[in-house]
Amino acid sequence: MLQTIVLALVQSVAEFLPISSSAHLILVPRLFGWQDQGMAMDIALHLGTLFSVLLYFRQDVRLMFQGCFYFFKRQFSLSQVRLVLNLIVACIPVFIIGFFCHTYIEEYFRNPRLIGVTAIVFGVLLYWVDKRGSCAKNIEQMSVKEAFWIGLAQVLALIPGVSRSGITMTAARFLGVNREEAARFSMLLSIPTIGAAGAFGLLQILTDPAGENPPEKMVLFGMLIAFAGGVLAIGFLMKWLKHSSFAIFALYRILLGLFLFYLF
């Protein structure tokens, strides 16, 4: 029970704050000496965070559905359609690279010291870009080319410690998108990304069901905790960025990286 609660909270918070969920999900079990939680629990936690994005950004999700409808009517000038196109384009690189390289990454890149390096390096990068970046744009003004660059940056998040939300927000800030809008685009981009990760995990269970998984009630409980934690984490981040910068998250990443070097 304790393991489920802690991992669900860690996943929900670290998935959306730019602090690297992979670093925390590797660190926490080692600190407590826990066994692997199983693929079913991983999928449940991802689904919980997916539902939290869908709830918090329900107005944007409605616009995305409208965009899909208008896309097939070839009304490409509408803002809803441009949003959908930008999200599709931004997803393509990570889907392709992730599909072909996930096994190699899982085998060779889950080194705590490497995660410490990426946590520090990309924390410093987030601080530097956020401090120097313009705040002139919102995501409605984002071009397809700029969305593609953010998608290329998201590929780096396949390396543990980089942080999917962190690197996409960093890329958006580099392109001049303001802080709140950078976070908003990152969250909306997480919908297809987390959905694809959950679907891929489910496929792995169906093709190789031999692994041990926790009881169904525990899986559902973990999903609910991840959902609630995800809503709170997103709400905190969006309110924080109304009046503050990413500096506190960059500092936390640096301290986390140093702690990983000390621990391992």
CA–CA distance, 210 with 4 (Å, rounded to integer): 21
CA–CA distance, 14 with 8 (Å, rounded to integer): 10
CA–CA distance, 194 with 51 (Å, rounded to integer): 10
Q: Side-chain half-sphere of 34: how many Cα atoms within 13 Å?
A: 17
CA–CA distance, 97 with 187 (Å, rounded to integer): 20
Q: What is the pTM of this model?
A: 0.90
CA dihedral of 36, 5, 160, 230, whole degrees rounded to 10 = 150
pLDDT 10s digits, 122-174: 999 999 999 988 888 889 889 999 999 999 999 999 998 899 999 999 999 99
pLDDT 10s digits, 212-227: 556 677 788 888 999 9
Q: What is the mean pLDDT of the chain?
A: 87
pLDDT 10s digits, 23-46: 787 788 778 888 766 666 777 888
At residue 160, the pLDDT reads: 87
Q: What percent of the chain has pLDDT over 90?
A: 52
